[in-house]
Amino acid sequence: MNGRGRDARSTDIDSGGGVPSWLAAHLRFCSRCGTRLEFGEVAGEDRERSSCPSCGHIAYVNPRLVVTVLPVTDEGRLVLIRRGIEPGLGAWAQPGGFLEVDETVDEAAVRETREETGLEVEPGAFVGFYTRLEAAVVVLTFEARVIGGTAAPTPEALEVREFAADEIPWAGLAFKTTYFALVDWLATRHPGIRPPEPAMGR
């Protein structure tokens, strides 16, 4: 382990780099009064931040949470989707998405799985959490039991397919976070299966 914590496996950039440039580009004006924000030292803050010279509003930037699910059938088969949208268009991943501000993590897990696969799930064991500093997200992954619904393609999934644990499409995974979630899931559920080294870019 590299000293940055378990969740650092899935990030490629160093800690301490501040707000990613793509995100900073969206932070130009005060959300309260519309004045152009200024970046620099702010009284009472322990790091430089964007703040409003007119009203004093501080534009805090924190990562968003992505809730993802490893749906497992009663036969022990894992459900993955082939993504129908970017990022990762055409590649395999677990269902999931951004946590909404007015729902619990379990609610998000159920909702995202239903939206992307047509399946109803019951969230179960926590699998892991995975940081992506470059994307300003933390991905949470749960195992979930498939309890109903009908798997079918959706606007967000070109395919919804079941895989045996030894059939995981490692070479075609969309994200590093998917890779490490599957590694952690196998370690507890199928410790005899050795995953290949990571080969995906995101």
Judged by the rule CB under 5 A, the positions of this chain that interact with Zn ion are: 30, 32-33, 35, 52, 54-55, 57
**Burial class, 163, CB count within 10 angstroms (exposed 0-12 / middle 13-18 / buried 19+):** middle
CB of 56 to Zn ion, least distance (A): 7
Q: Looking at beta carbons only, is 51 or 178 nearer to Zn ion?
A: 51
CB of 24 to Zn ion, least distance (A): 17
Q: What angle do CA 160, 165, 170 make, to 5 degrees?
A: 70
CB of 57 to Zn ion, least distance (A): 4
Q: Residue 188: which H helix or E strand, with range?
A: helix 176-189
Distance CA 88, CA 149 (A): 25
CB of 63 to Zn ion, least distance (A): 24
Q: Looking at beta carbons only, is 57 or 111 nearer to Zn ion?
A: 57
Q: Looking at beta carbons only, is 12 or 38 nearer to Zn ion?
A: 38
Q: Residue 123: which H helix or E strand, with range?
A: strand 119-132
Q: Which of 162, 179, 20 is nearest to 93 (CA)?
A: 179
Write phi, then psi, for 158 (nearest 5 degrees).
Answer: -70, -35
CB of 19 to Zn ion, least distance (A): 18
Q: Looking at beta carbons only, is 15 or 31 nearer to Zn ion?
A: 31
Q: Looking at beta carbons only, is 16 or 60 nearer to Zn ion?
A: 60
Query: Residue 68: CB partners within 8 Å, gap ≥ 6?
Result: 93, 94, 95, 96, 97, 109, 112, 139, 140, 141, 142, 177, 178, 181
